Structure 1
């Protein structure tokens, strides 16, 4: 659990990031590349990016082992240049602490040790890697990320106006609550409690559209605490092409699973699905199981009959896919 302590001043200094931060969003994507989970929704996206990343970007993998990045990489900034400059301006002790945290139980590569010492050549290596990664990972989808951010900004502005700050905060995380000037955010499976005291610094809320593993918290002295949380519909942004309306969604789910979801305009049995999309019963059942595990369909049994239906999340994805085309 994370417990964020507010003062009266902090409640007046909660703000929602007006624009997405390209460098922070890129690092969220790179952490997803290194975190082996949610293969159904992120597997194809991950494989495509790993094939396309240039060699110049490879050093970044050393900074994000096991999907964990040092805190000095998580900066705001409206442009890539501004974000990279903020990283380069990080205080040496903050850089060293971040590297030591990531490499607490393993030997660091030579260039990481040089970065720990403040070596200029190591910083240039990092800068080249960041620019190369940005051009491959984020630049192709940046207009989509901006659209998603505007939608999220509007949604929370309406919640704040209609229901107040408490509802806005708890709406970011199901199961969280605000009481006694403390925002409690449960983290299932994570032992212990992390106490974060704002102390008048305020809080910046920032959605991220590439990260699915809970919040990312940046707590540095003399700066507002920045909290990045998973937003959007749960799929990685994919650059749209000239194909069918929902082609980006097919690139994530695969054409067979997308066809299966589309065929559920009404409840259907496994046999009915198999006939509709032209596959065997066993194949239809396997794909239905994967989609059910991802929360995209539900299965109910009545006697010997099994019927599958789309979930609201699946409806949202299909509607969004059609709109993006």
Structure 2
């Protein structure tokens, strides 16, 4: 069981994450990828991703040999670039403590020891691994993650307005209850009780759509506690409109560019595209330029803003249609 102790100030500082963050969603997906349970629902999803993961992703498995990543990896950030930058900015003592906890009873691989020492090459290895994993696992489904998160956020906003914060909290998990300022969250099959005292720092509630097990709690002394809870349909996420027609395109265009095209169900600005697929504005602009050169999108300027839209050729490719030559 998890028991979270609130003060009056904490209740005033509870908030729901307004948008999803690519890095924690990626880590939830990778943990689910390595979990042995629920093979009936997740078996094909795992097999497909494991076959498609590039070798550059391997170091991430070293960081979580028991399926639970060090706390310094759990950051927010609206885009992948922001999340990676926040991880890189972690205090050296936090990085060392996280690695020492994971490798307390086993020898660490050489690159992990180098990361413990803070070498630039080790940080580059981690960055490459995260970007490669994001390209394969998260980018193809990021528009769907954003849509699900928007629905979840709206649902909780209405629940707070209609029923109050207490009922909304307990509604997040069947069997949880709030009494005397303590939120008790049961963990079936898990032994022991974890006591968490917020002490006025508040809490951020963050849904994840790639995790099915107990809530993931980040409780650091200088930050609000972040509770990541399983949400959504409870099924593996698959790319929107992708299916079998979209997968071959990923090998030609790259998964980020394919996700960008899929996100253009309506015209969007560069900033809107960046948020939609979880990358920086500069990255979205570069991919849009490449797709425009290939005749797959058009860009029009209105005042200081530019809007991107798919071309008929892009629609044809995404829907798997054919044309006679």
Report the TM range for the smaller structure's normalisation. 0.7 to 0.9
Contact 1:10 / 1:203 at 8 angstroms: preserved in 2?
yes
Paired with 1:160 and 1:204, the residues of 2 have a C-alpha distance of 15
Distance in 2, Cα, partners of 1:242 & 1:57: 23
SS at 2:210's partner residue?
coil
Question: In the alignment, does 2:20 pair up with 1:20?
Answer: yes
Query: Which residue of the partner structure matches residue 105 of structure 1?
Result: 105
> Unaligned stretches of 5+ in structure 1?
245-325
* Alignment correspondent of 1:36: 36
CA displacement, residues 49-78 of structure 1 (integer Å, 9 cap, x when unaligned)? 111111111111111223211111111111
Query: Counterpart in 2 of 1:157?
Result: 157
- Point out the more displaced range, 102-111 or 31-40: 102-111
**C-alpha distance in 2, partners of 1:242/1:101?**
40
How many Å separate the matches in 2 of 1:106 and 1:37?
25
- Deviations along 1:281-314, one digit per CA (max 9) or x if unpaired, are xxxxxxxxxxxxxxxxxxxxxxxxxxxxxxxxxx
3-state SS, counterpart of residue 184 of structure 1: strand
Mapped partners of 1:87, 1:243: distance in 2: 33
CA deviation profile, 1:244-291 (whole Å, cap 9, x unmatched): 9xxxxxxxxxxxxxxxxxxxxxxxxxxxxxxxxxxxxxxxxxxxxxxx
- The correspondence of residues 1-325 of structure 1 with structure 2, limited to 5 A, is 1-241=1-241
Give the Cα–Cα distance (whole angstroms) in 1 for the partners of residues 135 and 196 of structure 2. Answer: 35
- 1:118-157 Cα distance to aligned partner (Å, 9 max, x none): 1211111001111111111100100000000011111111
Greater Cα offset, 183-192 or 127-136? 183-192
- Displacement, 1:243? 5.7
C-alpha change, 1:77 and 1:243, in structure 2 (3 Å) is closer
| Structure 1 residue matching 2:236: 3-state secondary structure | coil
Aligned pair count reads 244
Match of 2:277 in 1: none
Q: Distance in 2 between matches of 1:230 and 1:105?
A: 30
C-alpha distance in 2, partners of 1:131/1:164? 40
- Offset, 1:241: 3.7
Q: Once the two structures are superposed, what CA deviation does each residue of 1:221-250 show, in whole Å capped at 9, x if it has no partner?
A: 210100000001111211134669xxxxxx
| Cα distance between partner residues in 1 of 2:230 and 2:243 | 28
Contact 1:34–1:65 (Cα < 8 Å) also in 2:
no
Classify 1:25/1:242 alpha carbon distance in 2 versus 1 (closer, same or farther; 3 Å).
closer
RMSD of aligned Cα (Å): 1.3
Tell me the distance in 1 between the aligned counterparts of 2:99 and 2:41.
30
Q: Relative to structure 1, is the Cα distance of residues 236 and 183 closer, same or farther in structure 2, using a 3 angstrom cutoff?
A: same
Does the 8 Å CA contact 2:144/2:240 hold for their aligned counterparts?
no
CA 1:92 to 1:156, structure 2 compared with 1: closer, same or farther past 3 Å? same
- 1:192-220 Cα shifts (integer Å, max 9, x gaps): 11111111111000000001111000111
8 Å contact from structure 1 (residues 30, 64) kept in 2 = no
Residue of structure 2 in register with 1:302 after alignment: none
In structure 2, distance between residues paired with 1:76 and 1:217: 13
| Structure 1 CA distance for aligned equivalents of residues 243 and 90 of structure 2 | 44
Deviation at 1:104, TM superposition (A): 2.3
C-alpha distance in 2 between matches for 1:36 and 1:76: 27
Length-normalised TM-score, structure 2: 0.73
